[in-house]
Amino acid sequence: MKPEPDGLAPAHDGGLVLRGIGAAPGVAIAQAFVFERGKVRTPRYHLPPEKIEAEVTRLLAALALSDEQLGRIQAAAGGEAPDRLHLSGAREYRLILEAHQAMLRDRTFVAEVLRLLREERLNAEWAFRREIRRIKGALGQGGDEYFRERRADLDFLADRVVRNLLGLTVDVAIEPPAGCVLVTRDLSPTDAALLLVPGKVAGLVIDLGGRTSHAALVARAREIPTVVGTGDASSRIQNGALVAVDGGHGTVTLRPTGSVLRRLEAGRSRYLEEEVALRATSELPAVTRDGVHVRLVGNLEFGAEAPSLWAHGAEGIGLYRTEFLYLDRPDLPSEEDHYLAYRALLLAAGERPVTIRTLDLGSDKLPGAMRRREANPAMGLRALRLALRSPALFRAQLRALLRASVAGRLRLMFPMVSGLTEMREARAQLEQARAELAREGQPMAAHLPVGIMIELPAAAAIADRLARECDFFSVGTNDLIQYAMAADRGNPLVSHLYRPLHLGILRTLEFVVRSAHEAGIPVAMCGEMAGDAAHAAVLVGLGFDELSMNATSIPQVKRIIRALSAEECRTIARDAMRLGTQEEIERFVRERMRERLGDLEAESSV
């Protein structure tokens, strides 16, 4: 259904429908509890010289008070064993709270606020807000959802300090009525820590924010149906009114009655039944009719998402994008920060393999001090090339990975490898870190598989040579297609060229798989192409051993793999590659899938 331009549409019978972004699936029908934090205005004035020192004292007192409040909230959100902390919503919150505390204690940051106060004679509220604005600027102005959310986190911190300076209430001890739908304009990490308690809050509606806001992340991890980005739901919905949140479709229905209510209730029952069915298939292996096992594993950005991957049947983690560890903070993560995150994930995965990719940061995605301007960051100093230029940064991560390797079945992977030289350099740095740790007497796994991502056309072209010197490949089609087609993966103007079934891409994949197998190593795919059910037959036919995707794609891809034989998949792939245009190939694959599977593939995208 197309969204209404104003986000509001009449329901067929009873109720109004607000549209937003589905951030956590499921349906909740309950009374609304509208949580209003209210905006705080920042007073701006210049200080007379004789008031400056008193203002310094006032500022330092507000910083100390804010620090103390954050500590209290952290303590309230804690209580979990250290190894589990990285995997729970509470841990995600605590990381943000810690980052906020670190900032309040950061000498350079505080010195700059004091400079604004003393030299430019700005009042404390203004000075603090201005320095936060500068840091937000350093995070970039891009529309990237992730950075928008991090900028919002900084606003929450500024609001706290300004409220404390003004003597306003900061953390209200509200108690939402049990089983309510929480409706709010925005939800700070601290408010979320206090309010998003499973069992207490049945559903969540937020006017602002996107899928990667911390509230959304934890709502997903705790399975609280959530819709974000509704625009003005919090001013339209009255406290106590019945609302229905459909987190799968991104809709919020106000005061549903009659057939609308019945439909929503049926939707809720269906969702719960599907969840049960899905969990039932999660135990089944992804094996073709003729017995070929294709390992289905998950892509993950935050530890908190791991339980959802297991629930959807992931046999392991195929890609952990570690760059997210760098992005929530003003400074760089320490070796210990890395170590704790990796160890927690490995322990939670148990026997399952976990592929951790070293940082894929770019010049546009770095903590303030390391940022640079580059005309084309996608082709700039990013990922492995950045790591090799920043030995201290890379060393901290490699040491942490080696130390964590004893906690589970770790596989280490380098991103954006351009050729043999870079791969050898990266491996040399790994060996150096290993030797260092051995001298320190640190335990490490006896064998640590080391693989590379194939996402540059030049690397794909020498896959046969690369395969002789590493333990596995994982094809990153998001970048591989972007570079092969010269079509920016985020640019809608050229999205018509971004076609996974282009013959050039299929030939590249065929060569990569053959090269890996001839060298006796397994080959995975962790780009988005792997999670599209429409491509499953072709990828099995090409011979991929492992496909890594988002949690929700796993059951559908599994159904297709279980319904086909590897032999017929090979025929589909071979015949498809005899055709010419991408349209012909797409049509051919679609028709073959329909013949074989009826409407099973109807939900897929080709």
Nearer Cβ to Mg ion (221/361): 361
Known active-site residue 214: yes
Q: Is 98 within 8 Å of 328 (Cβ atoms)?
A: no
Provide, rounded to whole angstroms, the least separation between the CB of residue 547 and Mg ion.
16
Q: DSSP per residue over 405-445, as a string?
A: GGGSEEEEEESS--SHHHHHHHHHHHHHHHHHHHHTT----
- Of Mg ion, ligand PEP, none, which one sits near residue 477, judging by CB under 5 to 8 A according to partner kind? ligand PEP
List of long-range contacts for 347-351, beta carbons under 8 Å, 24+ apart:
347/83, 347/407, 347/408, 348/84, 348/87, 348/303, 348/306, 348/307, 349/306, 349/316, 349/317, 349/408, 349/409, 350/408, 351/408, 351/409
Nearest approach in angstroms of CB 526 to ligand PEP is 5
DSSP 234: H
| DSSP 8-state code for residue 384 | H
| Contact call for residue 546 and ligand PEP (CB under 6 A) | no
Among 316, 318, 476, 555, the residue binding ligand PEP under the rule CB under 6 A is 476
Q: Which stretch binds ligand PEP (CB under 6 A): 242-250, 309-317, 475-483, 583-591?
A: 475-483
Q: Of 367 and 476, which CB lies nearer to Mg ion in the complex structure?
A: 476
Q: Which of 26, 210, 476, 541 touches Mg ion (CB under 5 A)?
A: 476
What phi and psi values does residue 219 have, to the nearest 5 degrees? -60, -40
Q: In the complex, what is the shortest distance from the CB of residue 524 to ligand PEP, in angstroms, rounded to a whole number?
A: 10
Q: How far apart are CA 545 and CA 154, in angstroms?
A: 43
Say if CB 19 and CB 242 are below 8 A apart.
no
Q: Which of 100, 214, 312, 535 is an active site residue?
A: 214
For ligand PEP, give the closer residue by CB, 455 or 532. 455
Query: In this complex, which beta carbon is closest to ligand PEP, that of residue 394 or of residue 498?
Result: 498
Which one among 305, 328, 455, 471 touches ligand PEP, defined by CB under 6 A? 455
526 binds, among ligand PEP, Mg ion, none (CB under 5 to 8 A by kind): ligand PEP
Q: How far is the CB of 478 from ligand PEP (least distance, A)?
A: 3
Coil, helix or strand for 204?
strand
- Using CB under 6 A as the binding rule, the residues of this chain from 334 to 393 that contact ligand PEP are 360
Q: Is 526 a catalytic residue?
A: yes
Amino acid 193 reads A
**Residue 373 tokens, joined:** 């301007």
Write down how long the chain is. 606
Query: Could you tell me which stretch among 118-126, 238-246, 453-461, 497-505 binds Mg ion (CB under 5 A)?
Result: 453-461
Cβ-based neighbours of 107, under 8 Å, separated by 6 or more: none
Q: How far is the CB of 453 from Mg ion (least distance, A)?
A: 6
Residues near ligand PEP (CB under 6 A), total: 10
Candidates 86, 526, 535, 569; catalytic one? 526
The answer to whether 506 and 577 are in contact (CB under 8 A) is yes
Please state, in angstroms and rounded to a whole number, the distance separating the CA atoms of residues 173 and 483: 52
Please say whether the beta carbons of 302 and 580 come within 8 A: no
Q: Which of 88, 184, 477, 556 touches ligand PEP (CB under 6 A)? A: 477
Q: DSSP per residue over 302-346, as a string?
A: SGGGHHHHHHTT--SEEEEEGGGGGTTSSSPPPHHHHHHHHHHHH
321 touches, from Mg ion, ligand PEP, none (C-beta below 5 to 8 Å by class) = ligand PEP
For residues 478 to 507, the per-residue mask of contacts with ligand PEP, x marking binding by CB under 6 A and - elsewhere, is: xx----------------------------
Which tokens belong to 48? 């007379």
Binding test (CB under 5 A) with Mg ion, winner from 55, 191, 246, 479: 479
**Binding window for ligand PEP (CB under 6 A); candidates: 250-258, 272-280, 476-484, 549-557:** 476-484
Q: Does 526 bind ligand PEP (CB under 6 A)?
A: yes
Task: Determine if 260 is a binding residue for ligand PEP (CB under 6 A).
Answer: no
Instruction: Tell me which of 321, 371, 427, 596 binds ligand PEP, using CB under 6 A.
Output: 321
Determine the straight-line distance between the first and last CA of the chain, rounded to whole angstroms.
Answer: 18
Active site residues: 214, 526
Under the rule (CB under 6 A), what is the footprint of ligand PEP? 319, 321, 360, 455, 476-479, 526-527
Under the rule (CB under 5 A), what is the footprint of Mg ion? 455, 476, 479
